[in-house]
Amino acid sequence: MLDIFLSKFTKASSFEGSRSNTEKNTGIESLLNYLGGCSFDNGLYRIHTSDSSKHWTKLLSSYFSVNGIKCFAFDWAGKQYATDNKDEQIIVFDPAEMQIYTMKVNWEKFHDYELVDYREEDLDEKLFKEWMTLNDTKKLSIDECIGYKQYLFLGGEDNFDNMELVDIEIYWELSNQIYRKTKDLPSETNIRGVSLD
């Protein structure tokens, strides 16, 4: 399973959490059972455990009002990766822009072909490595991502000065609340502060 992916990505560590204990897993459950809790290339890309998959599926379903998804992975920038119930596409949830992107590929092809052939385009690995070097960071822990101080949807710059190491769940929660409070404002509106619930 995922021989091409595993030959191109270095398993850096595993994190705590339950894996699915069903022996006859199919689809995305087989990925969570096989590689759930694994971090690759110092946090560049990480596979959810069964428990964290359920947690993030619930959060993102709420944030984006979507049904029929299952989260299976996340990357250094906090993006969450999910599949639909039919396993016909990958859905990418981006906290910096509060946008959803889709790819017409199943989870196996996503790992063995999309992430291998388009690694830089999908994961922006060069930026990840440069930030890690500049900030003397060896690897990301399971609850960390590199986020924007000022979100891109608020006009934040896409550069190192606007990036910091943050707790991934707090980053998503702040992104969701700020986006909801500002999304309907005219684009030229000056925002001086945001009160969070």
Within a domain: 171: yes
Q: Tokens 């925002």 label which residue?
A: 191
Residue 157 and residue 150 in contact, taking contact as beta carbons nearer than 8 Å: yes
Considering only CA atoms, which of 5, 12, 2, 61 is closest in space to residue 40?
12
Within a domain: 120: yes
Within a domain: 82: yes
Q: How confident is the model at residue 195 (pLDDT cuts 50, 70, 90)?
A: low
Can you list the alpha helix ranges (DSSP code H) found in the chain?
3-8, 28-35, 50-64, 107-109, 115-117, 119-123, 125-134, 168-182
The model's pLDDT over 152-173, given as tens digits with 9 standing for 90+, comes to 888 889 999 999 999 999 999 9
Within a domain: 192: no
The model's pLDDT over 112-155, given as tens digits with 9 standing for 90+, comes to 999 999 999 999 999 999 999 999 999 999 999 999 998 888 88
Within a domain: 98: yes
Domain that holds residue 122: 1-183
Residue 197: its pLDDT value, please? 54
Mean pLDDT of 86-92: 89
- Edge-to-edge, what's the strand order for the sheet holding 80-84? 11-14, 38-40, 45-47, 69-75, 80-84, 90-94, 99-103
Residue 36: its pLDDT value, please? 93
Q: How confident is the model at residue 18 (pLDDT cuts 50, 70, 90)?
A: very low
* Cα–Cα distance measured from residue 115 to residue 31, given in angstroms and rounded to the nearest whole number: 15
Q: C-alpha angle with apex 184: 183 to 189, nearest 5 degrees?
A: 90
The H or E element spanning position 144 is strand 144-148
Which of the two residues, 182 and 78, has the higher pLDDT score? 78
pLDDT at 194 over 60: no
Residue 86: its pLDDT value, please? 81
Within a domain: 189: no
Within a domain: 197: no
- Overall domain count for the chain: 1
CATH number assigned to the domain comprising residue 88: 3.40.1580
Which of the two residues, 98 and 184, has the higher pLDDT score? 98
The model's pLDDT over 34-73, given as tens digits with 9 standing for 90+, comes to 999 999 999 999 999 999 999 999 999 999 999 999 999 9
Which of the two residues, 151 and 183, has the higher pLDDT score? 151
Residue 140: its pLDDT value, please? 95
| CA-to-CA separations, 172 to 71, 112, 147, in angstroms, rounded | 14, 28, 9
Handedness of CA 82, 32, 117, 8 (dihedral sign): positive
Beta carbons within 8 Å of 191's beta carbon, 6+ residues apart: 154, 182, 185
pTM above 0.85, yes or no: yes
